[in-house]
């Protein structure tokens, strides 16, 4: 597998990832914009309304008919948070041209369809249509409320809100229900124009071959956009360090409590400098060999689950666990003890080698799915260099025990969030 970057326009890059093992070709348009409370809900709504109708495909039946004509091509959209930025993704997957008898490239037809949806939305008098807007607003509100109902997600989101008050990273990736309700056809149209004019854009194509002049054809669509103030998605703000950690406790009618702990990390940045933190996080709370799983969950039986993860571009490490109320404080103490053990180098060679092997195995699975590869290259846009999963796997061989200890030593507790059952529940 190889990847090559093409410069298409100001702040617009094309990325072709050659991979012949798939029967389809994947094309995604990825727009990166600053995460702000005033625009989060509108930006998050854009990829969904743009992929459900357009000027050329004004209703779902005509859109679906075109997808069926493309041998059942699949169209989807997401809105995510990557560092202090929103990532708006619109993606189409179509059967590879090698397996069709069409005189015209299916891939080019699929890209032209996606270009039509992105650049020629269904609008009236400088506004998105009210019927379409009402439908997507309803779906967005259902999604936001759904995350509140899933208490594991809710607890993690609440920790992030508390850690990053008045900061971009603390803003919900899809805004709030109140923000969604305020969206109008005119405000969404203005957000669409901002997206085309100011977003950093990464267009990712994953497949066996890149048709001649395909990226040139795509780049022409950006010539009419007045590109300015292009987003630089490599400038996420580091997580602050506190002199004393903060504890926030909420009680709700839940059966199982949630304990989520947020840590600041000194090791921060892209993959070129933060791989030791990746390994340290895995030894601390990754697989069944990890300190949190084998000790806090298994030996001490303090929680239903206990795992760690990191957002290295933010210098953030989090630990999530499901607990009984009476075990919440004990679990918190045990987590800190296991972190201290890693800082002191009190992890075995087996744990260290198991972690490296597990991470390498996980990296190797990216090539099993176009979705995974697309996600890899879209969320890694903040990297100064273009690293493939194989590149990172090779770099892991350079990580030593001392590197892991140094990464752990820079990790400090920031905020503890506890969601516990109400009395009598």
Fold equal for 2-222 and 246-421: yes
60 CB-contact burial (10 Å; exposed 0-12 / middle 13-18 / buried 19+): exposed
Considering the four listed CATH numbers 3.30.830.10, 3.40.50.20, 3.30.450.20, 3.30.2130.10, the one that applies to the domain covering 2-222 is 3.30.830.10
First CA to last CA distance, the chain: 54
Sheet strands side by side (includes 411-421)? 246-252, 411-421, 257-265, 316-323, 305-311
- Paired residues of 380 in beta bridges: none
For residues 14 and 215, is the Cβ–Cβ distance under 8 A? yes
Distance CA 164, CA 371 (A): 30
| pLDDT of the residue at 103 | 66
DSSP 360-382: HHHHHGGGG-HHHHHHHHHHTTT
Sheet strands side by side (includes 24-34)? 2-9, 12-18, 200-207, 24-34, 85-95, 74-82
Domain ranges (residues) in the chain:
2-222, 246-421
For residues 262 and 414, is the Cβ–Cβ distance under 8 A? yes
Tokens of 187: 């405000």
Distance CA 128, CA 133 (A): 7
**Residue 192: other Cβ atoms inside 10 A:** 21
Per-residue pLDDT of the chain (425 residues; tens, 9 = 90+): 578 899 999 999 999 999 989 999 999 999 999 999 999 999 999 999 999 999 999 999 999 999 999 999 999 999 999 999 999 999 999 999 888 877 678 999 999 999 999 999 999 999 999 999 999 999 999 999 999 999 999 999 999 999 999 999 999 999 999 999 999 999 999 999 999 999 999 999 999 998 888 999 899 999 889 999 999 998 999 999 999 999 999 999 999 999 999 999 999 999 989 999 999 999 999 999 999 999 999 999 999 999 999 999 999 999 999 999 999 999 999 999 999 999 999 999 999 999 999 999 999 999 999 999 999 999 999 998 999 999 999 999 999 999 999 999 999 999 999 999 987 54
* CATH no. of 246-421: 3.30.830.10
Provide the angle, in degrees to the nearest 10, between the axes of the packed helices 40-50 and 130-149: 120
- pTM score: 0.95
Which H/E stretch holds residue 187? helix 185-198
For residues 422 and 253, is the Cβ–Cβ distance under 8 A? yes
Distance CA 150, CA 143 (A): 11
- Residue found under tokens 């995974």: 372
Beta strands in 19-82 (DSSP E): 24-34, 74-82
**All residues at 6 or more sequence positions from 98 whose CB lies less than 8 Å from its CB, including other chains:** 208, 209
Strand pairing report for 85-95 and 305-311: unpaired
| pLDDT of the residue at 1 | 58
Q: Determine if residue 287 is left, alpha or beta; phi over 0 gives left, psi from -120 to 50 gives alpha, anything else beta.
A: beta
For residues 90 and 114, is the Cβ–Cβ distance under 8 A? yes
Burial 176-187 (b: 16+ CB within 10 A, else e): ebebbeebebeb
**All residues at 6 or more sequence positions from 210 whose CB lies less than 8 Å from its CB, including other chains:** 16, 18
**Residue 381: other Cβ atoms inside 10 A:** 23
Angle, CA 11 vertex, CA 58 and CA 169 arms, to 5°: 85
| pLDDT of the residue at 425 | 46
């Amino acid at each position: 597998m190889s990847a090559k970057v093409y410069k298409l326009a100001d702040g617009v890059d094309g990325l072709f990832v050659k991979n012949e093992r798939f029967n389809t070709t994947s094309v995604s348009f990825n727009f990166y914009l600053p995460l702000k409370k005033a625009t989060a809900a509108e930006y998050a709504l854009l990829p969904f309304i743009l992929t459900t109708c357009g000027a050329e495909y004004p209703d779902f039946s005509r859109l679906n008919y075109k997808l069926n004509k493309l041998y059942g091509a699949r169209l989807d959209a997401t809105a995510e948070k990557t560092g202090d930025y929103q990532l708006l993704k619109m993606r189409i997957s179509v059967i590879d041209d090698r397996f069709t008898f069409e005189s015209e490239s299916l891939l080019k037809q699929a890209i032209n369809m996606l270009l039509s949806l992105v650049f020629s939305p269904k609008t009236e008098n400088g506004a998105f249509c009210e019927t379409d807007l009402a439908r997507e607003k309803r779906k967005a509100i259902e999604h936001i409320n759904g995350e509140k109902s899933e208490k594991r997600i809710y607890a993690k989101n609440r920790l992030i809100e508390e850690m990053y008050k008045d900061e971009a990273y603390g803003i919900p990736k899809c805004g709030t229900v109140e923000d969604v309700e305020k969206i109008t056809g005119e405000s969404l149209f203005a957000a669409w124009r901002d997206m085309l004019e100011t977003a950093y854009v990464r267009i990712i194509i994953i497949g066996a071959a890149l048709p001649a002049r395909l990226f040139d054809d795509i780049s022409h669509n950006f010539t009419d956009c007045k590109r300015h103030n292009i987003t630089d998605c490599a400038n996420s703000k580091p997580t602050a360090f506190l002199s004393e950690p903060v504890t926030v406790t909420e009680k709700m009618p839940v059966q199982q409590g949630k304990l989520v702990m947020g840590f600041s990390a000194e090791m921060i940045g892209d993959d070129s400098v933060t791989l030791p933190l990746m390994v340290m996080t895995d030894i601390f709370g990754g697989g069944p060999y990890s300190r949190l799983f084998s000790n806090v969950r298994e030996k001490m039986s303090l929680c239903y689950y206990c795992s760690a993860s990191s957002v290295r571009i933010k210098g953030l490490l989090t630990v999530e666990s499901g607990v009984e109320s009476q075990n919440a404080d004990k679990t918190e103490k045990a987590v800190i003890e296991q972190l201290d053990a890693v800082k002191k180098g009190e992890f075995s060679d087996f744990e260290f080698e198991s972690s490296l092997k597990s991470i390498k195995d996980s990296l190797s699975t990216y090539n099993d799915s176009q979705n995974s590869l697309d996600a890899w290259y879209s969320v890694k846009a903040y990297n100064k260099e273009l690293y493939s999963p194989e590149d990172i796997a090779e770099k892991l061989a350079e990580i030593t025990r001392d590197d892991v200890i140094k990464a752990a030593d820079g990790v400090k507790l920031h905020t503890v969030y506890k969601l516990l059952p109400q009395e009598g529940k």
